[in-house]
Amino acid sequence: MTTVNLPFIDKYKPKTLQQIQGQSLALQELRTAVVSKKPALLYGPVGSGKTASVYALANDLGYEIIEINASDVRNKDAINSIIGSSLQQMSLFAKGKIILVDEVDGIAGNSDRGGVPALVELISAAKQAVVMTANDPWDSKFTPLRKVSRLIEFVSLSPQVIVSFLQQICQQEKIQASEDVLKKIARKANGDLRSAILDLESLGRGTLTIAADDVALLDDRLREQSMTDALRLVFKSTKPQETLQAFERVDADLSEVQLWVEENLPREYTGQDLYQGFTSLSKADVFNGRILRWQHWRFLVYINTLLTAGISLAKQEKTPGFVEYKRNSRILRYWMAKQKRLKLQGILQQLPGTMHGSSRQLMKEVLPYVRFMARKNKQFSFGLEKEDLLYLVK
Amino acid sequence: MTEQQADHQLWIEKYRPQTFAEVKGHTEITKRLQAFVEQKNIPHLLFSGPAGVGKTTLSLIIAKTLFGDNWHHNFLELNASDSRGIEVIRETVKDFARTKALGTELPKIILLDECDALTKEAQQALRRTMETYTRTARFILSANFSSKIIDPIQSRCTIFRFKPLSQEDIKNIIMNISKREGLKIDDKTIAAVSTVSKGDARRAENILQSCSAISKTITEKLVYEIVSAAHPEEMKEVLQLAVQGSFIQARDKLLDVMLKHGLSGEEIVKQIQETVWDLSITDQAKMQLIEKCGEIEFRMVEGSDEFIQLEALLASFVLAKK
């Protein structure tokens, strides 16, 4: 075998519709839609084979695919310039074309202003089949899309289907794994064949047998693993240019990357390096704000550069030692703090006599004193329920 | 002292003035407001001034004097910063102002607190609402800074600017409460309370009541102890941690402070910039840091994640020279 180094996920990509299991109804509908050049919206859970089916079908039919995915620019101008021209003309070599708009969920209400109407417009003008994929097509912003396209459902894959696919891979790769082990992987994947294949690969590469215990090691850490590898490259590398692509293979968008960098920067850098690093982050965030304001998505290039080479260059020399990276919990803390504030505001409102004044002022100017009194003197219970009083005092 | 004494009411409510005569300080403002009430003709009002000087209290007194026992039905208190969005306010106001006032021909009164927390767009919407219901309702807008209220609203309101209460006013409040609650307090301690409350009657009353939770005899030491427990110098601790190079702890505490008080990034920068002078670093370093505050505030306006900008600011404290 010479193709050993291809990741399983690419190596075992279905070449024809026949290799796709568990979706026979959807595949039939998809084929009909594409052949009759009707726009179709494929929906269903992650890893159920939506995108793979389109590629396999194109292969079967000898069609060419023009793909746009979520990471591409999605507002009206961008869609027009990317696929507008290709829709009108016929293909030179292929027998036909499929315009694949992957993950339309990525079109956000605000940030991709005009994205949905532009798609609808292009679908109606299209001379070729337009196929879109989505995880949840029922969002109200997709109503216009649903009206003009045929909805085709991809079901969540059953563990049996996943196991049988994994068995084929094991056979080809000469990996020894009991059916029990494969079932465990399949169950964990929860209908997502892609993640099952990734799991199998991370367990099976290099070893020839997978024991039952190995599966227990598998959890969501795998996804974090690729993130921490990328972070390590950025923080440790002394060749900034090498880091530019660091996050490309990570399954996370730049705003998530930014949170990871933010959380772990002070674990790697100190002093001047720390300052420089945060300057880079701060500038990246300014570009973020500009993207939101002006819809100029090309600024993403600068954000990526600031988050990779910018961070990498911030250090004067290579930082020694191994550092454990942590997940950023800031967003969660916002939420928890809000719940806590709401609860405390509720308690303040129960104090005897109508409490006047804005609740912000009450929180700032009254709460600390009420808390102090309740802590110091049991008589000061203010007629509050025991539970509320305890919450206040703690 | 009997057990009845523990009536569990906060003194800020118990001793809130109920009539114009009971109001301490603001003689001019009180006189003019009283005239409005006597003529039974209240214009839209804008009260600006710091917390705890009597803006809400005077609004309540206006309503109570105008409507008597029915005041509850004809007075609506809304919080601009809570209600999150002008839509909520507009709906509530609409429901309230749709019906005529109970037992009187006068317009109802709506108190809208913290108006300076509203965005410019929300204030525009508020202006339209004020005009729409002007026959059935009059607004009292309250704000810390009148400069944050848009001109079209200002020009529709009679503006009253409240100053912090004078030391003398606060002293009177303290003596009155001490007498009624049987507290022992000497002149020096009264002076201490009025100094730390900075013209804020609410704070003075809260401090007194907190003291009483510990002892009926109030000492200067007790007052300071309570104030530092209630208003710890959190920002100074944050910045000191950063200057010492403990960045992770500093930012953790900063986020804590921000979330605990529900502060915006801008408010935090303001606090940081005010606290810089209290740090033990060189004056040159202080100056540089304050300039940095300005730069960060600017980036905050342009950027999308306030906390990242605050961290960048905090990181520059790590470099400050002692």
**Best to test chain B binding among A360, A370, A393 (most B CBs inside 10 Å):** A360
A203 with A279, same domain: the answer is no
Q: Which domain-ending residue is among A285, A313, A341?
A: A313
Q: What is the pLDDT of residue A222?
A: 56
Q: Which residues of B fall within a CB distance of 8 Å from A358?
A: 79-82, 113-114
Asked if residue A145 and residue A195 are part of one domain, the reply reads: no
Q: What is the pLDDT of residues A3-55, one digit of tens each?
A: 456 788 888 889 999 888 889 889 999 999 998 888 999 998 888 899 899 99
CATH number, residue A122: 3.40.50.300
Distance, CA of A50 to CA of A133 (rounded, Å): 7
Burial class (CB in 10 A: 0-12, 13-18, 19+), A239: exposed
User: What is the residue range of A193's domain?
Assistant: 159-219
Give which of B4, B10, B11 to mutate to test A binding, by max A Cβ within 10 Å: B10
Q: Which of A168, A190, A219 is the last residue of a domain?
A: A219
* Residue A196 located in a structural domain: yes
Q: Which residues of B touch A278 (CB under 8 A)?
A: 308, 311-312, 314-315
A4 found inside a domain: no
Query: In whole angstroms, what is the distance from residue B207 CA to residue B194 CA?
Result: 10
Q: Residue B1: its pLDDT value, please?
A: 38
Do residue A232 and residue A280 come from a single domain? Answer: yes
Q: Which residues of chain B have a CB within 8 Å of the CB of A355? A: 10, 13
Look up residue A156 and give its DSSP letter. Answer: P
The DSSP code for A84 is H
Q: Are B46 and B118 in contact (CB under 8 A)?
A: no
Is pLDDT above 60 for A108?
Answer: no
pLDDT at A74 over 60: no
The residues facing A160 across adjacent strands are none
Smallest Cβ–Cβ distance between A281 and the set B9, B207, B308 belongs to B308
Which residues, given as ranges, of chain B have pLDDT below 70?
1-7, 81-85, 322
Do the Cβ atoms of A90 and A115 come closer than 8 Å?
A: no
Do A29 and A145 sit in the same domain of this protein?
Answer: yes
Question: A349 and A262, same structural domain?
Answer: no
Per-residue confidence (pLDDT) for residue B272, from 0 to 100: 96
Does residue A275 share a domain with residue A344? no
A residues 246..275 contacting B (CB < 8 A): 258, 262, 266-267, 270-272, 274-275
> What tens digit of pLDDT does each residue of B130-181 get?
888 888 899 999 998 888 899 999 999 999 999 999 999 999 999 999 999 9
Q: Is the pLDDT of residue A71 over 50?
A: no
For residues A39 and A131, give the distance between their C-alpha atoms in angstroms, rounded to a whole number: 6
pLDDT value for A103: 78
The two structure tokens encoding residue A119: 């798609």
Q: Is A190 on the interface with B (CB under 8 A)?
A: no
Residues A188 and A298 in one domain: no
Considering only CB atoms, which chain B residues are within 8 Å of A357? 56, 113, 202
Mean pLDDT for A199-205 is 78
Q: Mean pLDDT: which of A74-78, A244-248, A298-302 is highest?
A: A298-302
Interchain CB contact of A110 with B (< 8 Å): no
Q: How many CB pairs under 8 A join A and B?
A: 157
Assess whether A48 and A141 both reside in one domain: yes
**Domain for residue A227, yes or no?**
yes
Say if residue A49 is in the same domain as residue A136. Answer: yes
How many domains is chain A built from? 4
Domains belonging to chain B, first-starting first, are 26-161 (3.40.50.300), 167-230 (1.10.8.60), 234-318 (1.20.272.10)
pLDDT at A3: 47
Nearest to B248 among A266, A286, A357 (CB): A266
pLDDT at A228: 86
Cβ–Cβ below 8 Å for A274 and B203: no
Asked whether the beta carbons of residue A285 and residue B10 sit closer than 8 angstroms, the reply is no
Q: Which residue of B has its CA nearest to A381?
A: B8
pLDDT band at residue A99 using 50, 70 and 90 as cut-offs? confident
Taking 60 as the threshold, does the pLDDT of residue A91 lie above it? no
Substitution target in B13, B111, B234, B310 with the highest count of A β-carbons within 10 Å is: B13
d(CA A53, CA A13): 10
CB pair distance less than 8 Å for A355 and B255:
no
For residue B206, the chain A residues in CB contact (below 8 A) are: 365-366, 369
In the predicted model, is pLDDT for residue A377 greater than 80?
Answer: yes
Residue of A349, A336, A353, A348 whose CA lies nearest to A374:
A348
What pLDDT, on the 0 to 100 scale, is given for residue B145?
A: 87
Residues 205-244 of A with CB under 8 A from B: none
Whole-number pLDDT of residue A280:
97
Q: What is the distance between the alpha carbons of residues B124 and B315, in angstroms, rounded to a whole number?
A: 39
Out of A117, A133, A153, pick the residue that ends a domain. A153
More confident residue, A81 or A104: A104
B191 vs B11: CA distance, rounded Å: 19
Quick one: A232 and A293 in the same domain? yes
Is A36 within 8 Å of A131 (Cβ atoms)? no
**Does any domain span residue A3?**
no
- Is A194 contained in some domain? yes
Whole-angstrom distance, CA of residue B78 vs CA of residue B117:
13
Least CB–CB distance from A278: residue in B206, B213, B312: B312
The answer to whether residue A198 is domain-embedded is yes
**Is the overall model pTM greater than 0.90, yes or no?**
no
Q: According to the model, what pLDDT value does residue B314 have? A: 96
Distance of residue A333 Cα from the nearest chain B Cα, in angstroms:
8
Interface of A with B in 286-345 (CB under 8 A): 286, 288-290, 292, 330, 333-334, 337, 341, 345
Q: CA quadruple A370, A343, A348, B45: dihedral positive or negative?
A: positive
- Whether A324 maps to a domain, the answer reads no
Higher pLDDT, B146 or A208: B146
Find which of B251, B260, B305, B319 to mutate to test the A interface (most A CBs within 10 Å of its CB). Answer: B305
Per the prediction, chain A carries an average pLDDT of 82
Q: Quick check: is A322 in a domain? A: no
Which one of B318, B319, B321 would you mutate to disrupt binding with A, by most A Cβ within 10 Å of its Cβ? B318
Say how far residue A141 (Cα) sits from the centre of its chain: 20
| pLDDT above 80: residue A115 | no
Say if residue A111's pLDDT is above 60: no
Q: Are A118 and A147 in contact (CB under 8 A)?
A: no
For A299-302, the CB contacts below 8 A with 24+ separation are A300/A254
Q: Do A131 and A41 belong together in one domain?
A: yes
A142 lies in the same domain as A87: yes
pLDDT of residue B103: 76
